[in-house]
Structure 1
Amino acid sequence: MKRLIISALVATIGIAAAPAVQAGELWRATGLEQPESALLDAPNNRIIVSNIVGNPGDADGNGYLSVLSLDGKIVTQHWTDGMDAPKGLAISGGKLYVADITKVRVVDLASGRLINSIVVPNAVFLNDMTSDQAGRVYVSDMLADTIYRIDGDRPELFVRDAMLASPNGVFADGGRLIVASWGKGIKPDFSTAEPGGLLAIDLASKVVSPLPGAQRFADLDGVVAIGGTIYATAYMTGTLYRYKAGGAPEAVAHFKPGSADIGTDGKSILYVPLMNDGEVAALKLD
């Protein structure tokens, strides 16, 4: 299953016409290599981007991190090398945590130096990351219906539940973890027998709850929350969705297939990695 899914992901690269500029688009950074995640490092006025550079499941040593300025210019193309297929990013305690297949890489945020590699036992395909208000870090395992928590560089099982249905995006939002599910029954073309949706996990009780009205609507990838609004990307179609409690998911922007783990300034801007285009787009929200 793992090889099937990875091969299908690679096969999606470059399958559609060039995208139009989105309404509200501020800039696009170009020249990246399969950018999967974009994370704002606000105190340092920069955006950190993970570059896969090859098969997303291969431990090939090709992956690296880049640094962008807040206006979308590449400041440092190869800021941190020595990774395999880096994906989700999270910041905690002066460190940057990076999901890298079955490991979580730890990078010194000040220097960009790789300082540790945390092996996550039984991990299959680590994907997105986030950190909560207490500084604990969470990472999704998309192919194991699992989310792990890292506290003090020690990994532990947080939740394993079939209800998570291939959890991809994760975002700590107060006392809950918002999860974007890819869906159930992943097929060779990476579509699903049942598309994913949005869920929430209570950080204290670990209870998993589907978000009302936001189930089985898309194969979701990245997710963030700004106030009471959740934004999520659908990798296969390139659609950006918006969801508010009591409503239904609404498509608010369309990119090429490959929109991945989005970041935000927490106010009005989204950073959207366009993995198949080698670009990151900054989108100003209404």
Structure 2
Amino acid sequence: MKSLFTPILLAIVGIATAPAVQAAELWRAGGLEQPESALFDAAGQRVIISNIVGNPGEADGNGYLSILSMDGKLVTQHWTDGMDAPKGMAIAGGKLYVADIAHVRVVDLQSGKLASTIDVPNAVFLNDMTADASGKVYVTDMLADTIYRIDGDRLELFIKDAALASPNGIFADGGRLIVASWGKGIKPDFSTAEPGGLLSVDLATKAVSPLAGAENFANLDGVVAIGGSIYATAYMTGTLYRYKAGGTPQVVATFKPGSADIGTDGKSTIFVPLMNEGEVSALGLD
């Protein structure tokens, strides 16, 4: 996501001309309410969507989760209610974890019922989530340059470092976390003094390193890795980028501003929440 302001998001941006990477839209699902994150549930063969419904930083009780089928049909609009402004999600140990401002909600994957809440006492703006191969879950706090780690129901501070530069998207990739940074010096309109880029956080040493060629190029939001490629969205411009090690970010497609926390089936499809349109677009990659 993640601007709390709408005036700067009104410009209409078309599909980029002659994109370096081709992506075809497979389907587009509508009828959602500020969809912020799309998570592929492999076991359930479905896509889980978080809906903010209001101010992304306000605990108003309006947020909920929806379920889409793999062909873009709205299966259940209100699958899980009782949230404030749900954003990123992760699945681990048969549970769904959801970032919700200053809490992590734990949802039963079978019933969709809210099972428990993990409070994050010092959280400012929890944003995206991911799970590593061991089942540990990580959540970014965008406005505190922080990443927390959850093991079962035990929360700990994983890293707090200004080098994270407003960490938004996060994706576990082998022995590292790939982080999509929004940038440094966030202004009232959510523009930045310095744009963000792609970072790597070593899971063992916690060392933060920029990915060469992908430093300081955009206010990044969601991020996923498929094979040797990293895909990331720039919310303010609606741009979806692809990056490969040793190269530079290439434009895959550009939507209207508001492309948020992307998900993937891990093969050839990316699910792009279009927050300001109330839609989710599924892209098939060449």
CA contact (8 A) 2:28 2:72 kept: yes
Query: Secondary structure of the equivalent of 1:9?
Result: coil
* TM-aligned CA distance change 1:28 to 1:19, over 3 Å: farther
Deviations 1:230-262 (A, max 9, x none): 000000000001000000111110001000000
CA contact (8 A) 1:196 1:219 kept: yes
**C-alpha distance in 2 between matches for 1:33 and 1:285:** 26
* TM-aligned CA distance change 1:20 to 1:202, over 3 Å: closer
**C-alpha distance in 2 between matches for 1:253 and 1:270:** 12
Query: Secondary structure of the equivalent of 1:43?
Result: coil
Query: Secondary structure of the equivalent of 1:213?
Result: coil
* TM-aligned CA distance change 1:245 to 1:86, over 3 Å: same
CA contact (8 A) 1:179 1:200 kept: yes
Counting only pairs closer than 5 Å after superposition, residues 264-283 of structure 1 correspond to structure 2 as 264-283=264-283
Counting only pairs closer than 5 Å after superposition, residues 176-255 of structure 1 correspond to structure 2 as 176-255=176-255
Query: Secondary structure of the equivalent of 1:271?
Result: strand
Q: Partner of 2:12 in structure 1?
A: 17
2:87 equivalent to 1:87: yes
Structure 1 gaps, min length 5: none
> Larger relative contact order (C-alpha < 8 A, sep ≥ 6)?
2
Deviation at 1:190, TM superposition (A): 1.3
Query: Secondary structure of the equivalent of 2:78?
Result: strand
**C-alpha distance in 2 between matches for 1:23 and 1:142:** 29
Deviations 1:39-86 (A, max 9, x none): 000111110000000000000000000000000010000000000000
Q: TM-score, normalised by structure 1?
A: 0.95
Query: Secondary structure of the equivalent of 1:24?
Result: strand
Deviation at 1:20, TM superposition (A): 6.0
User: For residue 9 of structure 1, what is the amino acid of its counterpart?
Assistant: L
2:122 equivalent to 1:125: no
Structure 2 gaps, min length 5: 17-21
Q: TM-score, normalised by structure 2?
A: 0.95
Moved over 4 A (4+): 18-23
2:57 equivalent to 1:57: yes
**C-alpha distance in 1 between matches for 2:69 and 2:190:** 33
Q: Partner of 2:71 in structure 1?
A: 71
Query: Secondary structure of the equivalent of 1:135?
Result: coil
**C-alpha distance in 1 between matches for 2:72 and 2:89:** 18
**C-alpha distance in 1 between matches for 2:181 and 2:246:** 19
Q: Partner of 2:102 in structure 1?
A: 102
CA contact (8 A) 1:10 1:56 kept: no
Deviation at 1:152, TM superposition (A): 1.4
Q: Percent identity?
A: 77
**How many residue pairs align between the two structures?**
281
**C-alpha distance in 1 between matches for 2:5 and 2:37:** 16
CA contact (8 A) 1:13 1:276 kept: no
In angstroms, what is the RMSD of aligned CA positions? 1.7
Query: Secondary structure of the equivalent of 2:247?
Result: coil
